[in-house]
Structure 1
Amino acid sequence: MPAHDEPLLTVDDHGRVVEWSVAAEDLFGRPAAHVLGRSVFDVVGATTTQGRSWRIGPLAPESRERTWGVWQERDDDGDGGMDGDENLPGLAEVILDAVFTQADVGLHFLDPQLRVVRVNPSAIGMRGIPLGDIIGLPATEAYAAMGVRIEESMLREVLVSGEPARDVLLRSRPPTDPEREHIFSVSIYRVRSRAGRTLGLVATTVDVSAREHAQARLRLLHRARELIGRTLDVERTAGELVDVTVPDFADSAIVALTDAVLQGRTPELSAHDDELLLRCAAAGSTGAGYPPPPTGSALLPELFGPKLPSTVTILPVSEPDGADADDTPYGPRLVAPLSARGQILGAVAFERRRGSEPFTPEDVDLAKGITTRAAISLENALRFTREHVVMTALQSWPSGQERQTQRAAEIAQRHHAGGSGAGSWFDALPLPGSRLALVVGKVENPGLSAVATMSRLRTAAQALTTLDLDPHELLARLHSTVLRLAREQKDAQGSTDEPTVHCTIAIHDPVSGRLDAARAGRSMFTIVRPDGTVDTAPLQEGPLLGEEGPPFASTSLVLPEGSTVCLASPAATRAQGPTRGGLAAALAHPDRGPQQMADDVERLLAPDRVLLVARTRHLPPDELAEWNVPPELQSARPAREQTQTRLQEWGLDVDPFSAELVVSELVTNAIRYGAPPITLRLIRGETTLTCEIDDAALTAPYPRHAKATDEGGRGLHICATLAKSWGVRFRDDGKTVWAVLDAQTAEPDAG
């Protein structure tokens, strides 16, 4: 065909106009903008083309889609044959006949009664089917026999309105390929005569199975990335893998994990040992066939082939023998390992029904993507499980502390676990003089660094409380510790995320009923008095540790016995509550015990918060002795006598010489270097005797190393030698020097 012999117009396999020449515009009187992309039957079907002859032939474009060109035949004298007397066929009939005989796409022509009039060999299910079996039958009946369900209402809508139905997807198992499901794209157009009479419908069908299956695999992979790994729980992650793949990828799926993974231990290296014990972590099926194994059951190695797979593998279909064939509905199998960073976590087995489409290389690639995502999520969940175990151990409250703190307060503690991080902690620390320190904190940055920071801060807080510092001074020291940890973390990891910490510290003295508290950040701090009065904001919020630094908000209160102090780590956001009204309603029941109050408050807390509830107590009179000491040196003797008398009354098995000597030295030191008023106090414990001396001076005593010829300077050295521990704590109006001696309650005489 000469290169200069350009066609008037070009149509594609679907009968749509793809090119419209200038000559076609002149001949038919229609611009290209009005016809491109439209069906050729709609464009020229009603145009008068009688008296003309046409030639149609295939073109060879660069694209893979086949197209046809249409030319007007010329007479010998070069005119267009406009004056011929023969009644030659029109353009629409020529194109229709050529397309029906040569097109690779399926074509169907239905009459106005929706009966099949003409079908080409490429139509749905027509390969190998005699045309006479469907010609003349209603469309719905003709194609139902081929496994194709066509909505008659859709056909009639196109017939009446003339609005084409494009790219309608139909699924079918053609008789020539019953083992595989095919997906066809169907487009339906109305055909009208030159006079405007409706002649019927023409439908084009294209097998788009490969395209749709590829898109379905992409959608499934995207869904797996969205749904797998939403939680940090190993078993729930395994269940998410089953939910994503059944039934969209397989009819059944079994996820097996090693014992180490299920127990939260470090998994084995990927040696793929045949003896590795696997247990079912999750399983699911479409309901037919063998029921899935129960969760936790040990699985046979044969489930995953001759040995544990090292890569995604398609297993051969095992054919059952004899009568058992009908009892085995599953066939194609695919197994994949679950491994990450060289560690074997488990394996997963996918299976389809017998007679279903076998797994393909494309399915292998899809399974790799899904199982890789699942393995990474399982590893994250396993790491969190191990970190959670560490966190729980770090957050645990030693059982021995409960007995030691009961004299100052009745304690109830809760940890509302959630799984988003491990940065909250609490402590109830016994202090000298039967005092009690309540500490609640939270590290802002979640993750493993938060666990490490939390444990180091908790250790620092426990060490600092032994220095008898007030809560504000304790927070200032912890602030310096947080800054140092941030510098170390930045130097070691190059991280720019510096940790910040919420922390509230309250120290209760059961002798005076005084509560000293300081607050950094927005940890919850509430006080409930015995009359039911609830103070949800006894102390304003302060700057976080690691940010601005001191001064921190602090206060000093005297609480009546039976008051309740409620401390909790803050929520991630203020919106997670609880509100002040809800908190007050939960706590406004002082007649209830701390355990019941802790239960009520815990229901209001967001996940990953810790709660500490303390019902304060005052020391009873039979455990406390207190005397005013005149500021005279001769006052040491009556102080020794009073101590001896009280020890006999209490029945404490303590060395009387040591007790009298410690009391004498403390009183003498206060008279010489302190300032009145001076008060001597003895506190009886289960296994200790605490001696305290108060005075109004702010000078700090310290042990001296006296020479052999010195007459004094040995008092604190003697106290440090005889006592179990000693120290000094300062108040706004003075100081207290204390010493603790070992003691036991004496058994009564048998006589």
Structure 2
Amino acid sequence: MPRNHAPLFTLDGTGQVVRWSPGAERLFGRRDEEAVGRSVPELLATGPPDGRWLVGRVPGGSGEPEWGVWQAGEDMGDLDEAVLDAVFTQSAVGLHVLDRDLRAVRVNPVAVGMRGVPREEIIGRPVLEVYATEGVTGVEGMLREVLETGRPVRNALVRLRPRLDPQHEHVFSTAVHRLEDGSGQPLGVVVTAVDVTDRERAQARLRLLHDVHERIGSSLDVERTARELVEVTVPHFADSVLVALTDAVLRGRAPDLVPEEGVPLLRCAAVGGAAGFAPVTEVGTVLLPGLFGDELPKAPTLLPTGEPYGEPGGGGPAGIRLVAPLAVRGQIFGVVAFQRRDTSDPFGPDDLALADGIVARTATCLENALRFTREHIVMTALQSWSLRQEQTTQRAVEVAQRHRPGGRGGGSWFDIIPLPGARVALVVGQVQHAGLSAVATMSRLRTAVHSLTTLDLDPHELLARLHATTRRLAREQGPDPQLGEPTASCTFAVYDPVDGRLDVARAGGSLFAVVRPDGSVDLEPVGEGSFLGADGPPFASAVHLLPGGSTVCLASDVRDGAADPTTGRLVAALGRPDRGPEPMADDLQRILEPDRVLLVARTRLLTPDELREWDVPLARSAVAEARAHAADLLAEWEVPVDSFDVKLVVSELVTNAVRYGAAPITLRLVRSDRTLICEVIDGAPTAPHLRHAKAVDEGGRGLHICATVAEGWGVRYADDSKTVWAEIALAPQG
């Protein structure tokens, strides 16, 4: 009978199989339940496997004689022992053989050398008890599961501090396999271990650098970037981190150059520590220069110190401190101080290289954030809109305005410009290229719009001249193709509260909608036109007569391939005219992309207390009658104005219309909060002009007198008429 080998299967005295080993299952292709209880002839009916067989008596559990069956061959016992000895003495992998009670029965020299535990302290003792002093926990369940189920465990990471190197945590990749006898019964487990500390540290550094690039710089905010640096590096890189920024950077000014000597004024921008550590200083505190050494470090540097951040009793970790500058292209943004507990691994050369990568990324993000902050300040200053625009146009429209910055650059604007005759101009525009140059272009276009409105041009004509201005700006930028020619969208609408007339012209595809009092929504009151600076004019234009209480909605154009909200969402936001402009603006803003400006204007018509008109016959006698109408109206309205000035202006304007104009002639007086507006409309296209009369001339002084008495005067044209107007200031109240 072969020594040291369990039989493949066992027979009782009658030749019936009583035990069937896993080896027999593999050899004969029959499972245990298919073989036990059957006779040998039945099992070998299809023919036995090739080879010779040995039969020998084995002890039986019932006391009856039992016979074991082996496959004849060379006795491998001695060779098995030789192989096992070679593995244990020459393998570079640490080996532990544990019995069923998880006691160590054999270890190889490599396992002893890895952990520094003498062999005599291991053999015969529970392995969990041996390594508990080195910080090994949580592995008992894994070992017992392998022992019970036979399913091996591979590449399980175990962390400990071996006796040979207690200052550093080591990581071992372990594998556990069950040991079985010939019948498949468990004898114990074998544990292999390989020191993968260097590999795990390298992977941890790569993971940390990945987190640094993913999480730092998520917002264009200097202080938020500093806090993100703390959040990423605690506790994965350091147990305590302090980020100090220069006072200039925190105030939004340009960073200083890296000083040759000394340390600039630094304030704490962010600080954080691992569990159990209170903040060592408060955010905003001015920090002592000694915290970062006698001079500002030019690269990540180790500073030995016995106190946390150089302050006795600070409550933070003491030991070696790693300080690193936050600098880009010779400009200093701040300094970072990393520190670890005494029980943590001290900083090494690899940590210096890792810190250099961390601060380089952070400094770049700080530079971007500071540039954005400074440009945002400029953009905000350039894109500021005066509230007085709303106050001076309340007689024509009630306005709500919105602007939700999105951080993608400025270039959008709106204006509410009062015009003669109680009219108002509503303007919304968008420069297509984002950035500070777009804001500068926007500012120049906005100034041009204000200048052109003084000419009382038709909206289409105004956009044509604004287009010429945009083309001139493109030529001034030069031939550099990287800058791109500036183009812009613009919607310019003029509303007249006298008759509800809305004249509109549109360049580009900015949002423009009209909501009437009955709830009907017109999303295309005028078609899209070509961009300013592109292929226009002509531009799309239209005229609408709106009932009082209509709502005009304008929003700047979309950018970066975005689109306007769907028709359904727009109608849902605008289709309730019973609400005021402010709620409508809130609903509309929620469905628009950031960085788009929005203007919502509720129109109104002038009442008889604000407007009066008379038809004037084409006769000289009509002048006196016009003066009488004006005098009676001033008495009715009780307007605080010099009636002589009003009658003088009315006389001169009506006289010019009767003498040089054409029928029909209309006299109109409009009352506002600040002025009384006198308008005379006639059917002649020729315009009056100022001239200086000679001393002997009997006429020619009318418009000169009007210009002296009135705050302003002018002429505007329609298709078949012209209007000459003058504004007379009201006396201040109280």
Q: In the alignment, is residue 408 of structure 1 matched against residue 391 of structure 2?
A: no
Aligned to 1:357: 345
Paired residues for 1:151-162 under 5 Å: 151=139
Q: In the alignment, is residue 385 of structure 1 matched against residue 373 of structure 2?
A: yes
Q: CA deviation at 1:288?
A: 0.8
Aligned to 1:616: 603
Distance across 2 between alignment mates of 1:694 and 1:210: 92
The one-letter amino acid of 1:245's match is: T
The one-letter amino acid of 1:360's match is: G
The change in CA–CA distance for 1:524 and 1:196 in structure 2 (over 3 A counts) is: same
Helix, strand or coil: the match of 2:340? strand
Helix, strand or coil: the match of 2:615? strand
Q: In the alignment, is residue 267 of structure 1 matched against residue 255 of structure 2?
A: yes
| Preserved CA contact (<8 Å) 1:140 1:150 | no
Q: CA deviation at 1:512?
A: 1.7
Distance across 2 between alignment mates of 1:272 and 1:458: 46
Distance across 1 between alignment mates of 2:90 and 2:389: 91
Q: CA deviation at 1:430?
A: 0.9
Aligned to 2:721: 734
Distance across 2 between alignment mates of 1:88 and 1:583: 86
Aligned to 1:471: 459
Aligned to 1:230: 218
| Preserved CA contact (<8 Å) 1:332 1:353 | no
Distance across 2 between alignment mates of 1:327 and 1:739: 77
Aligned to 2:429: 441
| Preserved CA contact (<8 Å) 1:312 1:367 | yes
The change in CA–CA distance for 1:112 and 1:150 in structure 2 (over 3 A counts) is: same
Distance across 2 between alignment mates of 1:412 and 1:233: 29
Distance across 2 between alignment mates of 1:489 and 1:185: 64
Aligned to 2:555: 568
The one-letter amino acid of 2:205's match is: R
Pick from 156, 167, 170: which aligns with 2:158? 170
Q: CA deviation at 1:249?
A: 0.8
Pick from 428, 433, 440: which aligns with 1:452? 440
Aligned to 1:509: 496
| Preserved CA contact (<8 Å) 1:677 1:695 | yes
Distance across 2 between alignment mates of 1:633 and 1:340: 81
Distance across 2 between alignment mates of 1:447 and 1:155: 62
Q: CA deviation at 1:231?
A: 1.0
Q: CA deviation at 1:494?
A: 4.0
After superposition, give the CA deviation of every residue in 1:347-372 in whole Å (9 maximum; x if it has no partner).
22222112211112221221121122
Helix, strand or coil: the match of 1:557? strand
Distance across 1 between alignment mates of 2:621 and 2:80: 133
| Preserved CA contact (<8 Å) 1:125 1:175 | no
Aligned to 1:247: 235
Distance across 2 between alignment mates of 1:98 and 1:607: 72
Aligned to 1:424: 412
The one-letter amino acid of 2:267's match is: R
Pick from 244, 248, 256: which aligns with 2:244? 256
The one-letter amino acid of 2:525's match is: P
Aligned to 1:519: 506
Q: In the alignment, is residue 334 of structure 1 matched against residue 322 of structure 2?
A: yes
After superposition, give the CA deviation of every residue in 1:610-669 in whole Å (9 maximum; x if it has no partner).
222222233332333322222335544433444455456555566666655544443344
Distance across 1 between alignment mates of 2:307 and 2:668: 91
The one-letter amino acid of 1:339's match is: A
Helix, strand or coil: the match of 1:516? strand
Paired residues for 1:52-71 under 5 Å: none
The one-letter amino acid of 1:553's match is: A
Q: CA deviation at 1:457?
A: 1.9
The change in CA–CA distance for 1:412 and 1:107 in structure 2 (over 3 A counts) is: same
Aligned to 1:46: none
Distance across 1 between alignment mates of 2:77 and 2:514: 100
Distance across 1 between alignment mates of 2:184 and 2:681: 114
**694-703 or 193-202, which moves further after superposition?**
193-202
Q: In the alignment, is residue 539 of structure 1 matched against residue 565 of structure 2?
A: no
The one-letter amino acid of 1:556's match is: V
Distance across 2 between alignment mates of 1:129 and 1:523: 78
The change in CA–CA distance for 1:195 and 1:414 in structure 2 (over 3 A counts) is: closer
Pick from 267, 272, 278: which aligns with 1:284? 272
The one-letter amino acid of 1:527's match is: V
Aligned to 2:471: 483
Q: In the alignment, is residue 216 of structure 1 matched against residue 229 of structure 2?
A: no
How many residues of Structure 1 are paired with residues of Structure 2 in the alignment? 659
The one-letter amino acid of 1:266's match is: A
Distance across 1 between alignment mates of 2:526 and 2:301: 64
The one-letter amino acid of 1:691's match is: C
The one-letter amino acid of 1:222's match is: H
| Preserved CA contact (<8 Å) 1:124 1:205 | no
Which ranges of structure 2 fall in alignment gaps of 5 or more residues?
1-73
| Preserved CA contact (<8 Å) 2:239 2:317 | no
After superposition, give the CA deviation of every residue in 1:34-68 in whole Å (9 maximum; x if it has no partner).
xxxxxxxxxxxxxxxxxxxxxxxxxxxxxxxxxxx
Q: CA deviation at 1:689?
A: 3.4
Helix, strand or coil: the match of 2:109? coil
Distance across 2 between alignment mates of 1:176 and 1:697: 108
The change in CA–CA distance for 1:335 and 1:689 in structure 2 (over 3 A counts) is: same
The change in CA–CA distance for 1:116 and 1:415 in structure 2 (over 3 A counts) is: same
Q: CA deviation at 1:433?
A: 1.2
The change in CA–CA distance for 1:653 and 1:294 in structure 2 (over 3 A counts) is: same
Helix, strand or coil: the match of 1:694? strand
**132-141 or 269-278, which moves further after superposition?**
269-278
Q: In the alignment, is residue 594 of structure 1 matched against residue 581 of structure 2?
A: yes
Paired residues for 1:34-49 under 5 Å: none
| Preserved CA contact (<8 Å) 1:112 1:159 | yes
The one-letter amino acid of 1:638's match is: E
Q: CA deviation at 1:721?
A: 5.7
| Preserved CA contact (<8 Å) 2:216 2:225 | yes
Instruction: Please provide the CA RMSD for this pair.
Output: 3.8
| Preserved CA contact (<8 Å) 2:379 2:436 | no
The change in CA–CA distance for 1:437 and 1:733 in structure 2 (over 3 A counts) is: same
* TM-score normalised by the chain length of structure 2: 0.79
The change in CA–CA distance for 1:341 and 1:439 in structure 2 (over 3 A counts) is: farther
Aligned to 1:680: 667
Aligned to 1:68: none
Distance across 2 between alignment mates of 1:402 and 1:508: 14
Q: CA deviation at 1:570?
A: 4.3
Q: In the alignment, is residue 529 of structure 1 matched against residue 516 of structure 2?
A: yes
| Preserved CA contact (<8 Å) 2:240 2:316 | no
Helix, strand or coil: the match of 1:739? strand
Helix, strand or coil: the match of 1:371? helix
Distance across 1 between alignment mates of 2:293 and 2:106: 52
Distance across 1 between alignment mates of 2:326 and 2:651: 73
The change in CA–CA distance for 1:87 and 1:282 in structure 2 (over 3 A counts) is: same
Aligned to 1:22: none
Q: CA deviation at 1:572?
A: 4.5
Q: CA deviation at 1:406?
A: 1.9
* TM-score normalised by the chain length of structure 1: 0.77
The one-letter amino acid of 1:439's match is: V
Q: In the alignment, is residue 120 of structure 1 matched against residue 134 of structure 2?
A: no
Which ranges of structure 1 fall in alignment gaps of 5 or more residues?
1-85
Distance across 1 between alignment mates of 2:282 and 2:569: 43
Paired residues for 1:367-378 under 5 Å: 367-378=355-366
| Preserved CA contact (<8 Å) 1:272 1:344 | no
Aligned to 1:182: 170
The change in CA–CA distance for 1:360 and 1:579 in structure 2 (over 3 A counts) is: same
Distance across 2 between alignment mates of 1:189 and 1:487: 79
| Preserved CA contact (<8 Å) 1:700 1:728 | yes
| Preserved CA contact (<8 Å) 2:551 2:601 | yes
The change in CA–CA distance for 1:88 and 1:162 in structure 2 (over 3 A counts) is: closer
Q: Kindly, what percent of the aligned residue pairs are identical? A: 61
After superposition, give the CA deviation of every residue in 1:376-407 in whole Å (9 maximum; x if it has no partner).
21222222222222222223222333332222
Q: In the alignment, is residue 629 of structure 1 matched against residue 613 of structure 2?
A: no
